[in-house]
Amino acid sequence: MEFQDKVVLITGAGSGIGRAAALMYAKEGGQVVVSDINPKGGEETVKMITEAGGKATFIAANVAKLEEVEQLVNQVAEQFGRLDIAVNNAGIGDFNQKKTADHPVDSWDRVIAVNQTGVFYCMKQELQQMMKQKNGSIVNISSIAGLRGLPNNLAYVASKHAVVGMTKTAAMEYAKHGIRINAVCPVFTLTNLFKPEYFGDKAEKLREGIPMKRYGTADEIAEAIIWLSTDKASFVTGHIMSVDGGKTA
């Protein structure tokens, strides 16, 4: 099995893409640490894994709080002795705001705190542990909004561009230490974060704008996350992988 005895930490694993990835790692023998701000979702993911015969445990953490992320990674290290793979997936949308001049400051602060600062805090703590091992793989979840603009969504776009920049920078810093860091950029994917109805009349235009003429599924995004963290991707670092039905082509 691909991830036998590997310790895998996934943030935001109580729903959507994070849950899909957690199930796949567990199916391949990984010891999965499901983390989320929402204990109900997190515990549900653990139940799904253990009922299918996999290994998982839940640790609650808000990625926007450094002390909680520090505690999370310390607990993983104490309980399992190492951290092989980290998927920094926790994120929020705050879609359909106003244009830049009128973009609400509270929305900006909220989105940047989770999507951008949260990824920084997670990498900061995870890399300290991975440096002790001189080994590890990190996959950050950005978005096609990390590669192009999306009008009326300034904070989300800024946060996801930041994830791309942080991924490239950290990848260069840690390449010689045996640690690979990559990012996945999904297009609109059917989860709690993206439901077509959130976009009202514009939803059909969003779908039509994807060359494959459909939204992604959480499993399709998880497959890319999984591959980037396997040894099959041993020479891949600093890569920003679009999984988008051709949208950014």
Task: Tell me how many residues contact ligand NAD (CB under 6 A).
Answer: 29
Q: How far apart are CA 174 and CA 40, in angstroms?
A: 35
DSSP percent split of the chain into helix, strand, coil, nearest 5: 50, 15, 35
86 sits near ligand NAD (criterion: CB under 6 A): no
Taking CB under 6 A as the criterion, the residue among 3, 6, 9, 16 binding ligand NAD is: 16
Residue with tokens 């994070």: 18
Task: Report in angstroms how near the CB of residue 148 gets to ligand NAD at its nearest.
Answer: 12
Comparing C-alpha atoms, which of 237, 225, 214 is closest to residue 13?
A: 225
User: Does the annotation mark 25 as catalytic?
Assistant: no
Residue 6 CB neighbour total at 10 angstroms:
21
Q: Closer to ligand NAD at the Cβ: 37 or 181?
A: 37
Please state, in angstroms and rounded to a whole number, the distance separating the CA atoms of residues 139 and 232.
14
Q: Which is nearer to ligand NAD, 153 or 191 (CB)?
A: 191
The answer to whether the CB of 229 falls within 8 A of the CB of 195 is: no
Identify which range of 84-92, 122-130, 171-179, 196-204 contacts ligand NAD by CB under 6 A. Answer: 84-92
Catalytic residue among 156, 174, 198, 215: 156
Binding mask 146-185 for ligand NAD (x = CB under 6 A): ----------------------------------------
Q: Which is nearer to ligand NAD, 77 or 87 (CB)?
A: 87
Smallest distance from ligand NAD to CB 130, Å: 20
Place of tokens 């310790």: 7
The residue type at 110: R
| Residues pairing with 18 in the sheet | none
> Which lies closer to ligand NAD via its Cβ, residue 84 or residue 94?
94
Question: CA-CA distance, 194 to 133, in Å (whole number)?
Answer: 37
Q: Which residues bind ligand NAD (CB under 6 A)?
A: 11-12, 14-18, 36-38, 41, 62-64, 89-92, 114, 118, 141, 143, 186, 188-189, 191-194
